[in-house]
Structure 1
């Protein structure tokens, strides 16, 4: 029988542009390996001070809309106290207060229980850090 708790780190090349990276297939592949078709919870965590995890629709413009909304809320200009890195980088450090660095999602029968149009995504506005780690942790129910 598989372990009740299993974890794995994804290495994501988010590049040098603001991006939303769909992690849904990576999450499903992880669950296929470790869940044993059990119910439980999947926690997705990005251990970075300038990135977040969102559950959103992708591919129909919603990912671009989210980036546009973040630009409106958190402009990349010189207003920020945190000033190292590229211009406006201080806003990247505020991002996790709006898009949290984690999500915990239900797993039923070894599969993510997502809505029809929902995807698990890394939200990365930090152009200074092209590589990200994302920790996937599955906790099986008893």
Structure 2
């Protein structure tokens, strides 16, 4: 845990697996802000091939997102960035569509998310299955 002025920050590890994945981080984010009062939670993934999204999970939207990314950014040989597995260049374009960060309001130590919203790591890169996510809380 790092404390800088009114901000507290920590780095968590997330294993995404050998296939593109949407990993729900909501519980871990909720634990981090618990009992911290009001403020903002900044969620950042310090990787060139992953992003953070706020979306519904468990009802198919997570798979729909991966399907949409596949349709928009196919895994083929069109990419100039060519190291890694076949089509890996597209993974480096994903953060332009799924930003590597999000900010969530925190009220009374709880994430102020909508009923069906979850905070998720979006990772299409099967070459790197271990990810770090930085959680930073700025008190209000």
Determine the C-alpha separation between the residues in 2 that align with 1:14 and 1:64.
Answer: 14
Cα distance between partner residues in 2 of 1:54 and 1:129 = 19
Partner of 1:97: 96
RMSD of equivalent CA atoms: 1.2
Aligned to 2:110: 111
Correspondence 1:67-78 to 2 at 5 A: 67-78=66-77
Correspondences of 1:1-142 after superposition (within 5 Å): 4-32=6-34, 35=36, 38-141=37-140
SS at match of 2:47: coil
**Residues of 2 paired with 1:93 and 1:114: CA distance?**
28
**Alpha-carbon shift at residue 4 of structure 1 (Å):** 2.2
Aligned mates of 1:70, 1:90 — CA distance in 2: 13
Q: How many residues align?
A: 137
Residue ranges of structure 2 left out of the alignment (5+ in a row): none
- What is the Cα deviation at residue 16 of structure 1? 1.3
Moved over 3 A (4+): none
Deviations 1:61-93 (A, max 9, x none): 000000000000000000000000000000000
- SS of corresponding position for 2:52: strand
SS in 2 for 1:84: coil
What TM-score, normalized by structure 1, do the two folds share? 0.94
Partner Cα separation in structure 1 for residue 65 and residue 17 of structure 2 = 18
Unmatched 5+ residue regions in structure 1? none
CA distance in 2, matches of 1:85, 1:55: 28
Distance between the aligned counterparts of 1:134 and 1:107, measured in 2?
18
